[in-house]
Amino acid sequence: MARQARIKSTTGIYHVMLKGIDSRNIFMDDEDKMFFMEKLKRAKETGEFKLYAFCLMDNHVHLLLKEGEEIGVSMKRITVGYVRYHNQKYGREGHLFQNRYHSEPVEDDRYLLTVSRYIHNNPLKAHMAASQAEYRWSSYRNYLDAYHGIITPIDAELMQSYFNQLSDFEKFSCEDNQDHCLEVSTFVKCSDDDIKALIKENQRYAGIMDLTKAERNECIQSIHQATGGSIRQLSRVLGIGKRIIEKAIKEYDY
């Protein structure tokens, strides 16, 4: 079957996502993320694209960029060297990323800002950080530095043209939202112990059966999204009936 042609952006700006094959982790430790960032910086210099936002999660990456050279060439510059490094380090062979990169065009100012906020909020949605500034592997901290005149890997001028003051940028980035961009399943297949560790870190999850039905179902969906746990697995770990888990997931699924 022929590949579907990508939708070209009239602005040259794209939201790009790289995802591990079979939802496997593409980063096993901070050293891996550091190596990927070096590949990203070199590709940016060579391909002369603008980098407006990024976030490195364990099993996927989000980028917001304006292409210099053709975007596919830039993505190849980033991924080929990283796959070689990763496979050599972990003694594996074959593909690491799922198919081609995913991308969507960013055609207007409003969606540009939405994508930026969505990317910076990824670690919070996955319960990997309590705040945007806490997470080390996104461009949010770079923006905090840029507003203080510190040189960073990102091209901060465009975003700063929308938010003259750091406080305005922080307010927009941290406000409650229902942003959904480039919706591709990013479930991580976790073990029972991984799910138990997540629950232990969040007191609300630990008292899940003491919550109202609506609150309980919201927590179940959050755990499901963060871990990719099956209905059977979540029922086993949480000690809640499979029917309740199934209803909660379907109710909040999107």
Q: Give the pLDDT confidence of 11-45 residue by residue, as tens digits.
A: 999 999 999 887 789 999 999 999 999 999 999 99
How much is the pLDDT for 100? 72
Confidence category of residue 183, pLDDT binned at 50, 70, 90: low
How much is the pLDDT for 251? 61
Arithmetic mean of pLDDT, 178-201: 68
Per-residue pLDDT reduced to its tens digit, 131-172: 999 999 999 999 999 999 999 999 999 999 999 999 999 999
Confidence category of residue 226, pLDDT binned at 50, 70, 90: low
How much is the pLDDT for 87? 94
How much is the pLDDT for 228? 67
SS (H, E, C) the chain: CCCCCCCCCCCCEEEEEEEEHHHCCCCCCHHHHHHHHHHHHHHHHHHCCEEEEEEECCCEEEEEEECCCCHHHHHHHHHHHHHHHHHHHHCCCCCCECCCCEEEECCCHHHHHHHHHHHHHHHHHCCCCCCHHHCCCECHHHHHHHCCCCCCCCCCHHHHHHCCCHHHHHHHHHCCCCCCCCCCCCCCCCCHHHHHHHHHHCHHHHCHHHCCHHHHHHHHHHHHHHHCCCHHHHHHHHCCCHHHHHHHHHHHCC
pTM, whole model, 2 decimals? 0.70
Quick one: what percent of the chain has pLDDT higher than 90?
57
Residue 209 pLDDT > 90? no
Arithmetic mean of pLDDT, 80-88: 95
φ, ψ for residue 185, nearest 5 deg: -55, 130
Indicate the average pLDDT of the chain: 86
